[in-house]
Amino acid sequence: MPGTELFGAEERKEVNDVLETGIMIRYTNDHLRNNHFKARDFEAEVCKQTGAKYAHAVSSGSTAIATALAAAGIGAGDEVIVPPFTFIATIEAVLFVGALPVFAELDETLCLSAEGIKKAITSKTKGVCLVHMCGGMADMDPIMAVIKEHKLTLVEDAGQAYGSSYKGTSVGLFGKAGSFSFDFFKIATAGEGGVLITNDEATYKIADVYSDHGHDHIGTNRGMENHPLLGFNYRISELHAAVGLAQTRKVPFIRKKNQEHKAFLTKALSSTPGIQFAKVCDPAGDSATFLNILLPDTEAAKRCVDEMNKAGVGGFNYWFLNMYHFVNQWDHLKEMRTASRLPIEITGAPQDYKKLSLPKSQEVVGRLISFGIRCTWTEAEMTTLASRIAACVTKALSSVHA
């Protein structure tokens, strides 16, 4: 949780600016806010760091991806290709705009592969909701070739990849719109918050309007604004934006430290037999929030997890079994347990989610153990961690014959 590691005076200062005026909403009361516009400043900082022309802050990464899908024109009945390994918010966002998730295969990048996307395309496919997982990035060149060939709409859920780029372009800028999360577990946190980015003015304008009940934000009298579209309230508060602003300013530092620490651990572990690493398509563009190791197979990974639990090695995620990020755990989706009826329950699902055949994704996620990188680690701590990981892997692999 790098962002939360560095919570301090800078965050308190930004929050206090808001508390001193009491204007906690981003709109209205401009004469009372002592010139503090935290949501706007947060957006400007995200634009500066990502190179996006437009950024729009909202209440969460989930509402950011929902807004991105809507602004990209994805809605009822549209088939949207999604990965089976992501935070469930991606799938919920697709369902709740009325669209129909179609699961496709990922590869050792931990993201959808171009090949996986291609195989999942049908005549009803409208777009792809690509997720940049575990702090890294998808393999964009081949993916963009498929997107262009089939004229698909690309939306990127970069919920956990703020600070990542591919060949110089920030994740989130390859398609119509992209989203980031600034929840408590991300590289920078707003407490709760999300930001949508795009280079397309029309998409930005829809997002801006949609996430605030259709307000067009023209003029200075909110009550008299026009409402070109129906929308909803996905606004971020000034208090959250203030924290997000202070935290985001720290990302270049965090990212640099993360990269150094990831390189250190990678080097320390690379000579251990049985350890491979997930593919990072552009190491220079890695936000490096996770060190993702791949064991030879699922059984070896499970044994390694047991060894690490026995040895008290913490700070890792084994998504395949015990986290809420892999399709195997999504029983509510498979049984379509919903609070109230969704469009997919009327039109029918494009796949039987109980019988998905995704052998490659099962294999890769089964082998994957992810360690959260801390930007405050000392060299001694990393040396100890690496030797403990190596010992557990070695034990797990030798116990095959036990």
DSSP 219: S
- Binding of residue 194 to ligand PLP (CB under 6 A): yes
Q: Does 156 bind ligand PLP (CB under 6 A)?
A: no
Cβ proximity of 71 and 176 under 8 Å: yes
Q: What is the rounded distance in angstroms from the CA atom of residue 124 to the CA atom of residue 78?
A: 7
Return the bridge partners of 154, or none. Answer: 128
131 binds ligand PLP (CB under 6 A): yes
Among the listed residues 49, 90, 109, 287, the single contact to ligand PLP using CB under 6 A: 90
Residue 377 engages ligand PLP in binding (rule: CB under 6 A): no
Q: Which is nearer to ligand PLP, 125 or 287 (CB)?
A: 287
Q: Does 244 bind ligand PLP (CB under 6 A)?
A: no
**Is the Cβ of residue 57 or residue 308 nearer to ligand PLP in the bound state?**
57
Among residues 17, 157, 212, 286, the one that binds ligand PLP under rule CB under 6 A:
157
Only one of the segments 140-148, 155-163, 195-203, 309-317 lies at the binding site for ligand PLP (rule: CB under 6 A); that segment is 155-163
Which stretch, 8-16, 44-52, 156-164, 285-293, contacts ligand PLP (CB under 6 A)? 156-164
**Per-residue b or e along 206-243, where b marks 16 or more CB atoms closer than 10 Å to that residue's CB:** bbbbbbbeebeeeeeeeeebeeeeebeebbbbbbbbbb
Binding status of residue 370 toward ligand PLP by CB under 6 A: no
Question: Which residues in 25-84 contact ligand PLP (CB under 6 A)?
Answer: 60-62, 65
- Could you give the angle at which helices 9-21 and 238-248 cross, rounded to 10 degrees? 150
Helices (H), ranges, 150-216: 201-210
Phi and psi angles of residue 195, each rounded to the nearest 5 degrees, phi first: -140, 135
CA angle 268, 269, 274 (to 5 degrees): 160
By CB under 6 A, tell whether 89 contacts ligand PLP. Answer: yes
Which CB, 286 or 307, lies closer to ligand PLP?
A: 286
Q: For residues 164 and 392, which CB has a smaller minimum distance to ligand PLP in the complex?
A: 164
Minimum Å gap between C-beta 155 and ligand PLP is: 12
In angstroms, give the least distance from the CB of 273 to ligand PLP: 32
The residues near 197 (Cβ < 8 Å, ≥ 6 apart) are 46, 47, 50, 52, 54, 55, 56, 170, 172, 173, 177, 178, 179, 180
Query: Helix, strand, or coil here: 20?
Result: helix
Residue 70, token pair as written in the block: 């809507």
Burial class (CB in 10 A: 0-12, 13-18, 19+), 330: middle
Rounded least distance, CB 274 to ligand PLP, Å: 28
Residue selected from 17, 43, 79, 183 as contacting ligand PLP according to rule CB under 6 A: 183
Residues at the contact surface with ligand PLP, assessed by CB under 6 A: 60-62, 65, 86-87, 89-90, 131, 157, 159-160, 181, 183, 194
